[in-house]
Amino acid sequence: MIPSDDRPSDAEIATINARHLAVTPLKPADLLFVFGSREGVALRVASAARLWRAGFFRRAIVSGGVTPGGALSECAVIKAAMVEAGVPGELILEELAATNTGENVILSLPVLDAEVGLDRIHSVICLGNAWTARRYPMTLHRHWPAVEKMLLTVNSFGVPMASWPDHPVLRALVLAEWAKIEPYKRNGFIADWPAIGV
């Protein structure tokens, strides 16, 4: 990712903070949906283990295929680390082929339906990178509107997420993700999901 030299205006920052970098209250859910990535794996795993210990999910699914230069799928890497951190392996479902957020959802739904039954899952916590933020539940909402969605994100850049406008690489990531929202909605890849804080 090329660092961004262009700092958005204060109004743009406020809009992105409110509409894209959404945070939701968390409550115990039927499912933790871990979106695969090579970024922030340790933070993802620590968050998943913390949620498990606190009783915030009954089952989990980890979705993510092999990325260029990798030998193992994102799913295999993250699941193994979650088990090491204390989440029971038999409660973690696997989706091993997805290469993007849309595929994370599309390829995971049949796994969930076969193993649990989609009609038995009423609430989901989405776990992924902070800069992708609301696009996770928006993608889930496009393909599975009935389920209640919550969002928990991790930020591997070592600065508070509120500092994103002043961190060139993080700023570039946030702006790139923000730029995808309207085109993805027009193309039917994602669906409107409540913008928390607006």
Write the pLDDT tens digit of every residue in 39-62.
889 999 999 999 999 999 999 999
Three-state DSSP state, 72 = coil
The pLDDT-based confidence of 71 (bands split at 50, 70, 90) is: confident
Residue 7 scores a pLDDT above 90? no
* pLDDT tens digits, one per residue of 173-189: 999 999 999 999 999 99
> Which CATH number is 30-158's, of 3.40.50.620, 3.30.70.870, 3.40.50.2300, 1.10.3720.10?
3.40.50.620
- Of 58, 62, 60, whose CA–CA distance to 76 is shortest? 62
Closest-CA residue to 140 (of 15, 6, 44, 34)? 34
Distances (CA, A) of 174 to 28, 30, 67, 152, 189: 28, 29, 21, 16, 19
Q: Where are the domains of the chain?
A: 30-158
Return the pLDDT at 194.
Answer: 75
**Mean pLDDT, residues 101-111:** 96
CA–centroid distance for 59 within its chain = 16
Chain Cα centroid distance, residue 31? 13
pLDDT at 120 over 60: yes
For 149, the enclosing helix (H) or strand (E) is strand 148-154
